[in-house]
């Protein structure tokens, strides 16, 4: 699987060369980016809570491979699954959309994000498409 940062670099390189993508390719890239953002938000919250993938899977009624695939951006979860994950992680799920940019995160029930989570997935301030940040590839751990 190609990392998010790698395909984003390849896309930016093509744009710089004046090579335009079809609307279908652009739509698919946005979907992949959202899958990565959602997976990163689950990973960040799980790690902040000190949970293994297996424990999160048990709490959310999933399997460990399903959690791994989700965290790696291999699937876009449904709204009911996001609700189950939020309950399993004692969190509120938040998603802000602006054009093709997204900010997704799980926060404490009182609205705070645990410091151990590092950063929220997505741009800190949504100012437009240029606000999207590169994310280093992560390794899912069980």
CA distance 16 to 101: 20
CA distance 41 to 92: 12
Half-sphere exposure of 118 (CA within 13 A, CB side): 11
pLDDT in tens, 37-56: 999 999 999 999 999 999 99
Q: How far apart are the first and last CA of the chain?
A: 19
| Arithmetic mean of pLDDT over the chain | 77
pTM for this structure?
0.65
pLDDT above 90: residue 36: yes
């Amino acid at each position: 699987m190609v990392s998010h940062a790698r395909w984003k670099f390849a896309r930016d390189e093509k744009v710089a060369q004046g090579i335009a993508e079809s609307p279908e390719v652009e739509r698919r890239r946005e979907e992949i980016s959202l899958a990565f953002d959602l997976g990163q938000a689950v990973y960040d919250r799980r790690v902040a809570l000190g949970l293994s993938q297996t424990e999160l899977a048990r709490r959310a009624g999933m399997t460990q491979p399903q959690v791994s695939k989700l965290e790696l951006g291999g699937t876009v979860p449904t709204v009911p699954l996001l609700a189950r994950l939020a309950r399993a992680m004692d969190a509120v799920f938040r998603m802000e959309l602006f054009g093709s940019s997204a900010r997704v995160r799980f926060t404490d029930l009182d609205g705070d994000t645990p410091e151990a989570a590092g950063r929220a997935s997505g741009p800190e301030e949504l100012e437009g498409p240029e606000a999207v940040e590169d994310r280093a590839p992560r390794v899912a751990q069980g």
